[in-house]
Structure 1
Amino acid sequence: MPQHDRSSAVLLGMACGDALGAGYDFAGPLPPTADVGMRSGGGAHWARGEWTDYTALAIPVAKAVADGRDLKAEATLDLIAAEWVDWANTSPFAGAQLGAALTGPVPTAAGVRRAAREHHDRLGRSAGNGCLMRTAPVALSYLHEPADLATAARALSELTHCETDAGDACVLWGLAIRHAVLEGELELRVGLDTLARGRRELWSARIEHAERKVPSDFPRNGWVVQALQGAWSAIVTTDNSDAGQYRRGVEAAVRGGGNTDAVAGIAGALLAARWGLAAVPTEWRRLVQGWPGLRGADLVRLSVLAAHAKDTDEAGRPQAFRMHVVR
């Protein structure tokens, strides 16, 4: 079924966009006709095809979902937080907010929240884009439960990012991925009704603004709002006539400059949710790899498990393949 193909592509599409952008991080913007390809480099000296911290933080979430765990449960968030802290202890790079939240003394959800809040209170802000891409597995977990998707996406964001902008962006993006998987349509506005009235109007204006601009018009894309605007701009300003839009869109996101790994990863997940596995270039699929020692095929498997973890047999028992999640 087309929905199965689209859901299986989400994490791979995100990781390939992330890895493509990693080699160009803060090296742009580039001319509209500039060639873009997988290369090493970036601020943390990523290897060619290596995904960054953005995709890495989504992996523990995807594993929890594939195991059939409830992302709204504090015990599940504890497991995810502990894996994030393990990652942070060996990561070559973590943004200021993430670094502060994940180096606190208690590797639990409550401990991470506390450290994040303390850092937010010191600086007065915490709406970086580091919360956004880890929402992709949330969308896969709640394909048929949009209200629960919105609740879980916001709760996961609030582990490390305290501002409402961050939670709103995660809700909108997660619901857009769900809509693309189920309906084969790209639309960022589908989640607006889940936001409070004043927030709904604010985000409607932000989306409309993105559609009138190009990705390079959002240079402050370390901020979650402009990261999402830049990605949406890259999507809506590229030819959408066929599956080649996936490649065209993520390349446009990279050419926009700034935090290119984040913006291209955001665009990549949403475009893959629309166009499916075949849209992701074969070369990128072969090259992509990253923490914790996974490759592209592993991400496809995780996506499949995440999207079907709640499936049951005729007796109401979980499907057996849930036991074979990537470790």
Structure 2
Amino acid sequence: MTSSTTARLDRAAGVLLATAAGDALGVPYEFARPPAADELAEMTGGGLGGFAPGEWSDDTAMAVAIAEVAATGADLTTDDALDAIALGFLRWYDDGPADIGVQTSAVLGATRRNLGRPGGPGGGRPAEVMAAVAATYAVEHAHSAGNGALMRTAPVALAHLEDRDRLARAARLVARLTHADPLAGDACVLWSEAIRVAVVEGRIGVRAGLDLLPADRRAPWSGWLDAALAGPAAGFTPNGYTVTALQAAVAAVAGTPDADHRHLQDALHAAVRIGDDTDTVAAIAGGLLGARWGARAVPEAWRRAVHGWPGRDGDDLLALAARAVRGDRPGNATPGDQG
């Protein structure tokens, strides 16, 4: 295995681990007083869900549900893969998460009622039912472009590192399971492509996916990204909206000196300091930072501390990310791996 392949695998492994680290760092400060400029975030737990120290929240839990499907080698644009992801979301929902977004809860709850309990009566493909419920929710609610799809999109990139067009379709289809507003899908396309570029090329390019968006929405998103890159990060609150959540993550990443791997830690602390939906913003930022700097940039203490649904820890996330890149199919090597 070449050194470049090893580095790329490390960057891929960093995606889920840094997502979880950002999530767990942000949990104690969600909608509470964030750390001051001279303070570091700590994984003390608590937060809205009464989490244990180092425990991740819905952001990483839902990302894990996607990564588990990616790890089978599935094309995430297919009906079978989307059904599996939808069922993963429902499995998490059925387990009674300590904290769940209002929109996600409404969509998953209505989907469960329409499908019936596991093993009981119910009809329709799970992904079709869930996406239809999400579409109805969007029609009935003026503000349905929440950050709940963006927060979990990182593992979509791992499944499609070699095909950016398929990646864009997958990101939008997975987003639509719970968030039908086109802006939520756009945000997932942009962030998934930025993560793909970081893993494959070892650089941060948050504008790389603009050409993957519908032509009429490229200019608004370009302006929103310009504003985020200009900062300051503290300006992007509240950030429950998918646009401001993405802007907050971009501002934290771009506004932090990036001379070396310390950028990952420093930018995650900056993301939490923005305040408001701290675990989600830091989880979003973590996905990109991990893709750029790799798992080795995540402090060992953070790797040891993070854990959460469904009974996984930091080492499990590293293994899951590796399988998501390879796909658990006989003879399917990691992309670019020549042995």
Asked whether the two chains share a fold, i.e. TM above 0.5, the reply is yes
**Runs of at least 4 residues off by over 6 Å:** none
Match of 1:53 in 2: 58
Whether contact under 8 Å (1:11, 1:300) holds in the other structure is: yes
The match for 2:72 among 57, 67, 81 is 67
Q: Distance in 1 between matches of 2:284 and 2:254?
A: 13
Cα deviations by residue, 1:158-177 (Å, 9 ceiling, x for unpaired)? 11111111000000000000
1:192-203 alignment, distance < 5 Å: 192-203=210-221
Deviation, 1:312, is: 6.4
Q: Distance in 1 between matches of 2:133 and 2:182?
A: 17
Q: Secondary structure at the match of 1:106?
A: helix
Deviation, 1:311, is: 7.5
Q: Distance in 2 between matches of 1:85 and 1:309?
A: 23
| Root mean square deviation, CA, Å | 1.5
Match of 2:326 in 1: 308
Q: Secondary structure at the match of 1:188?
A: coil
Cα deviations by residue, 1:126-156 (Å, 9 ceiling, x for unpaired)? 1111101321111001000000000000000
- What letter matches 1:218 in structure 2? F
Q: Distance in 2 between matches of 1:245 and 1:35?
A: 14
The match for 1:16 among 13, 21, 24 is 21
Whether contact under 8 Å (1:63, 1:306) holds in the other structure is: yes
Cα deviations by residue, 1:207-258 (Å, 9 ceiling, x for unpaired)? 1101122222111211111111001100111110000000000000001100
Q: Distance in 1 between matches of 2:34 and 2:306?
A: 23
1:1-327 alignment, distance < 5 Å: 1-89=6-94, 90-104=96-110, 105-107=113-115, 108-309=126-327, 313=331, 318=332
- What letter matches 2:141 in structure 1? L
Whether contact under 8 Å (2:73, 2:329) holds in the other structure is: no
Whether contact under 8 Å (1:29, 1:216) holds in the other structure is: no
Deviation, 1:58, is: 1.1
Q: Distance in 2 between matches of 1:311 and 1:216?
A: 45
Please, what TM-score do these two structures have when normalized by structure 2? 0.90
Whether contact under 8 Å (1:234, 1:250) holds in the other structure is: yes
Deviation, 1:125, is: 2.7
Q: Secondary structure at the match of 1:151?
A: helix
Q: Distance in 1 between matches of 2:143 and 2:180?
A: 8
Q: Distance in 2 between matches of 1:65 and 1:101?
A: 23
Deviation, 1:64, is: 0.8
Q: Distance in 1 between matches of 2:31 and 2:279?
A: 9
Deviation, 1:75, is: 1.7
What stretches of structure 1 of length at least 5 have no aligned partner?
A: 321-327
Q: Distance in 1 between matches of 2:114 and 2:101?
A: 19
Bigger mean CA deviation after superposition, 297-306 or 71-80: 71-80
Whether contact under 8 Å (2:35, 2:41) holds in the other structure is: no
Deviation, 1:69, is: 1.5
Q: Secondary structure at the match of 1:206?
A: helix
Q: Distance in 2 between matches of 1:207 and 1:319?
A: 35
Whether contact under 8 Å (2:146, 2:184) holds in the other structure is: yes
Whether contact under 8 Å (2:72, 2:328) holds in the other structure is: no
Note closer, same or farther for the CA distance 1:319–1:235 as it changes in structure 2 (3 Å cut). Answer: closer
Deviation, 1:86, is: 2.0
- What letter matches 1:25 in structure 2? E
- Count of residues in correspondence between the two structures: 316
Over the matched positions of the two proteins, sequence identity in percent amounts to 43
Q: Distance in 2 between matches of 1:188 and 1:312?
A: 34
Q: Secondary structure at the match of 2:256?
A: coil
- What letter matches 1:68 in structure 2? G
Deviation, 1:6, is: 0.5
Deviation, 1:310, is: 7.4
Q: Secondary structure at the match of 2:209?
A: helix
Note closer, same or farther for the CA distance 1:184–1:162 as it changes in structure 2 (3 Å cut). Answer: same
Q: Distance in 2 between matches of 1:16 and 1:158?
A: 26
- What letter matches 1:64 in structure 2? V
Q: Secondary structure at the match of 1:129?
A: coil
Whether contact under 8 Å (2:44, 2:53) holds in the other structure is: yes
